[in-house]
């Protein structure tokens, strides 16, 4: 159920009841459907491969858990980063691609809970992150430094927003009372959010220094003659991160820590099937090699799914659609 790699706020089945899970699926379907149309209207040809590259990087980065206080770990969610670089609607497609592959292929997060996993970690983080980033960046004058500060603020707030939403869903499902789950989730994720802020700010700073034309506010003035080597470079970077995944902290993530401390961990249910469980490849016994192999497979599949979602959104907006 929870293997050697712990991924923050992926709700397993059993933590939400069937009515709550179905509501999550319905909301996810509506948002993804709208996102397909909105993304086709808003993104140009240059940004289509960026969706695949960014999805691959976020997937790989989510495999790298970093230790925080009290024997707990955390990692990048990525919704704010995706929204900053692509806008919130495209970010919804990127994050849905990541979370769907995690749940369906790696049994990371429950099938019934996938709707609210997508909403919490993908949809909510995309819109909240974009709003916070835009307000902070504008308030600080729209400079490159303002973008970095805005990215850090947006990232931290999105982690707290996702933690709050997860607490509400647990409470409505009767898994944990709100006055128990909410303080615990918000408290532990306040620290985890600092790591999210550092990674997101660093990624935005890196993009501004190396490919400023990929920043949304620079698109209009960017040269259309810039090469496409960044696509291969981005995939290589994502694969490099996947190769580092065995170095991830083995401490439980924020949700698992809260579930253990508040005595509702036993409510979690195992996945009904197993393909690449706990980010391992069946038949490969070496723990390091199997984790890397699973990460590489995931990076390539998520990149393809993210790119495919971008192409579908283009067709949705075509005159024939």
pLDDT category at 224 given cuts 50, 70, 90 is very low
Using alpha carbons only, how large is the chain's radius of gyration in Å?
19
Specify the higher pLDDT residue, 80 or 40: 80
Residue 317's pLDDT is 61
In this structure, the number of other CB atoms found within 10 A of the CB of residue 73 comes to: 24
Q: What angle do CA 313, 52, 161 make, to 5 degrees?
A: 85
Q: What is the pTM of this model?
A: 0.91
pLDDT at 320 over 80: no
Q: With helix as H, strand as E and coil as C, how does 100-148 read? A: HHHHHHHCCCCCCCHHHHHHHHHHHHHHHHHHHHHHHHHHCCCCHHHHH
| C-alpha to C-alpha distance for 255 and 16, rounded to whole angstroms | 13
- Distance CA(171)–CA(59), nearest Å, equals 28
What pLDDT sits at residue 218? 63
Can you list the domains of the chain with their CATH numbers?
A: 18-217+226-317 (1.10.1760.20)
Which residues have a Cβ under 8 Å from the Cβ of 261 and sit 6 or more positions away?
184
d(Cα 57, Cα 130) in Å, to the nearest integer?
19
Structure-block tokens of residue 236: 């290589």
- Residue 70: left if φ>0, alpha if ψ -120 to 50, beta else—which one? left
Answer yes or no: is pLDDT of 210 > 90.
Answer: no
Integer angstrom CA distances of residue 198 from 105, 145, 148, 178: 29, 14, 10, 29
Mean pLDDT of 112-116: 96
pLDDT at position 3 over 60: no
What is residue 238's three-state secondary structure?
A: helix
The tens digit of pLDDT for each residue in 251-264 reads 878 888 888 888 89
35 vs 4 pLDDT, higher one: 35
Average pLDDT value for residue range 57-69: 88
Q: What percent of the chain is modeled with pLDDT above 90?
A: 64
CA 72 to chain centre: 19
Phi and psi angles of residue 70, each rounded to the nearest 5 degrees, phi first = 75, 30
Closest CA to 58 of 132, 129, 149: 129
Decide: residue 193, CB within 10 A, 0-12 exposed, 13-18 middle, 19+ buried. Answer: buried
């Amino acid at each position: 159920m929870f293997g050697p790699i712990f991924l923050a706020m992926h709700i397993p089945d059993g933590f939400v009841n069937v009515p709550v899970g179905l509501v999550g699926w319905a909301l996810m379907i509506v948002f993804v459907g709208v996102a397909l149309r909105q993304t086709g209207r808003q993104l140009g040809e240059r940004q289509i491969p960026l969706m695949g590259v960014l999805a691959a990087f976020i997937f790989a980065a989510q495999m790298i858990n970093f230790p925080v206080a009290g024997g707990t770990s955390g990692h990048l969610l990525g919704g704010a980063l995706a929204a900053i670089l692509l806008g919130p609607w495209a970010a919804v497609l990127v994050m849905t691609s990541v979370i769907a592959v995690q749940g369906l292929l790696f049994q990371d997060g429950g099938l019934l809970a996938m709707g609210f996993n997508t909403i919490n970690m993908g949809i909510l983080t995309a819109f909240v992150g974009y709003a916070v980033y835009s307000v902070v960046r504008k308030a600080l004058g729209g400079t490159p430094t303002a973008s970095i500060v805005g990215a850090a603020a947006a990232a931290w707030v999105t982690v707290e927003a996702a933690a709050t939403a997860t607490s509400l869903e647990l409470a409505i499902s009767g898994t944990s009372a709100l006055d128990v789950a909410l303080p615990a989730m918000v408290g532990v994720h306040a620290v985890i959010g600092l790591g999210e802020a550092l990674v997101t700010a660093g990624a935005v700073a890196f993009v501004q220094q190396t490919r400023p034309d990929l920043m949304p506010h620079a698109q209009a003035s960017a040269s259309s003659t810039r090469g496409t080597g960044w696509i291969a470079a981005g995939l290589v970077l994502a694969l490099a991160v996947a190769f580092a995944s065995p170095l991830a902290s083995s401490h439980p993530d924020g949700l698992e820590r809260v579930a253990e401390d508040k005595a509702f961990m036993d409510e979690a249910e195992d996945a009904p099937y197993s393909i690449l469980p706990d980010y391992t490849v069946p038949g490969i016994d070496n723990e390091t090699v199997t984790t890397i192999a699973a990460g590489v497979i995931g990076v390539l599949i998520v990149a393809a799914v993210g790119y495919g979602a971008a192409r579908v959104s283009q067709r949705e907006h075509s005159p024939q659609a």
